Amino acid sequence: MTLEGCLILIVEDEPVVAFALEDMVADAGGSTISAERVDQAMALIEKHNLDLAILDINVHGHKSYPVAAALDKIGVPFIFATGYGDALHPPEFKAVPTVTKPYSLSDINSALEGLSKQRDLRLSR
């Protein structure tokens, strides 16, 4: 899988997990910006032209659903990467791909590949 030229937002409050995701994206040719808080993520969405995003759900005690809503509003595909699974998602996010921690890099690669295809379809319209 290649993420060549993609800018990916990572919202993750665990530094080790964030670094691992950043490395995986870099290995696939993409670049990242990271936020460890919801307010930081919202500011990054306003400042950058994002291609994809990976969102932890519980970020320092706050849910990342406002970030998901902001990304959805501007058409940026995203996945959830969380220890909670997808059982607790609000109805508007039930269809969002969710990778459950502990996940493997192949799990993330597979989810990002699906997002990349979704992004390509959006751009071709």
Q: What pLDDT score was predicted for residue 119? A: 58
Give the integer Cα–Cα distance in Å for 25 and 39.
23
**Cα→Cα distances 91→65, 74, 86, 88, Å:** 11, 19, 11, 9
Q: Residue 113: pLDDT band by 50, 70, 90 thresholds?
A: confident
Tell me the per-residue pLDDT of 68-77, one tens digit each, with 9 for 90 and over: 999 999 999 9
- Would 2 be classed as within a structural domain? no
30-34, 39-43, 58-62, 84-88: range with lowest mean pLDDT: 84-88
Domain span at residue 79? 7-124
- Would 101 be classed as within a structural domain? yes
- Would 73 be classed as within a structural domain? yes
- Would 65 be classed as within a structural domain? yes
Tell me the per-residue pLDDT of 76-94, one tens digit each, with 9 for 90 and over: 999 998 876 555 788 999 8
- Would 1 be classed as within a structural domain? no
Number of domains making up the chain = 1
The CATH number of whichever domain residue 77 belongs to comes to: 3.40.50.2300
